[in-house]
Amino acid sequence: MLAQLQSLLTVVILATVAYGLGSRLLRGLGLHGTDPAANLVFSLMTGLVGAGTLLAVLGLVGLLYAPLVGVLTLTGCFWTAGEIVRQRQAGNRSAPAEAVGDSAESDPPRWLVLVALVAAGLAALGCLVGAAAPPTAGDALCYHLELPKAFLADHRLAFYPFSENSTFPLLCEMWFLWAMAMDGPVAAGMVHWLLGLLFAGATAVLAAPIVGRRWAWVAMSAALVVPGVTNQMTAPMNDVALAAATTVALAAWYRAVVLEEDRRWLLVAGIAAGGALAIKYLALLFAAAMVAGCLWTGRRGGARLRLALESAAVIAVVSASVAGLWYARAAWHRGN
């Protein structure tokens, strides 16, 4: 039991570091709004992409040492905690809460919201219990955990000629490596559980401006009780991670293009989309879907078409910059 609590604490520390990195980026872009849920979702995903990419760079230069990873992680954790304390002491400038599609006339019944949230909470707790057990999933043992373990042993992102998976996009495996460097494989499994929560939160952030906040809670709960999601949240895989990254990308794109809030959201969308491309090749299908969405949005021409084309171009450039490391590495080693 104490070992599982230690693994959970490790995941909390990793999430804190990622939140700090992402929050700093959002503040730098002037996108840190008054909706705490949206801030958390966007900050956590962009921070995770940044942290995973940094670990990959350390691996490319042969500096994947667990003590170094630990020092950097704890430094980032204390820095983030200090930032949070300073912001609270200074007092956030009060601003009116963001209107995100709330409408009392169209709100779902309270009993439905309550039932949905209770079901989602029970599903999340059940998945946490499953994630706290030693990993036994086939793919997890074959490469999702085996490769990070080998990279840590070699202190670099080594090329293994007889392991086709070793040149796949491995951003999610960098997160597992992060957890294993700090704790062990159980913590890696809990990282994927955390990504399931992030996917649910991203669903709510995406749905809120469309159907209202309360219906967004129902959508979040529905996303969290899907059997395929709950099954994946109990093991260190990468499909829920992919779903989280693509949903965050879509939520940021929606804010920039459909709501026309701020075009700087396109940079966040590009980072999240690049994270998706760095997690799994299947993200290429999502890229095609986003292109179709941009074309549909700009179908009436004029300023709307220019904004849609601009969004596609910005996201393509940013996402290629984020994920390009993995595709260049595969091309270098396998010509793929």
Q: What is the pLDDT of residues 26-77, one digit of tens each?
A: 999 999 877 889 999 999 999 999 999 999 999 999 999 999 999 999 999 9
Residue 122: pLDDT band by 50, 70, 90 thresholds? very high
The one-letter code for the residue type at 45 is: M
Q: Are 47 and 22 in contact (CB under 8 A)?
A: yes
Would you call 38 helix, strand, or coil by DSSP?
helix
Number of helical H runs and strand E runs in the chain: 14, 0
For residue 91, pLDDT beyond 80: no
Q: What is the pLDDT of residues 2-19, one digit of tens each?
A: 889 999 999 999 999 999
The model carries a pTM of 0.92
- What is the pLDDT, as a whole number, of residue 96? 46
143 Cβ contact partners less than 8 Å away, ≥ 6 residues apart: 163, 165, 166, 168, 173
Phi, psi of 262 (to 5 degrees): -160, 130
Cα three-residue angle 88-93-98, rounded to 5 degrees: 110
The one-letter code for the residue type at 104 is: A
Q: Determine if residue 93 is left, alpha or beta; phi over 0 gives left, psi from -120 to 50 gives alpha, anything else beta.
A: beta
What is the DSSP track for 249-293?
A: HHHHHIIIIIS-S-TTHHHHHHHHHHHHHHH-TTHHHHHHHHHHH
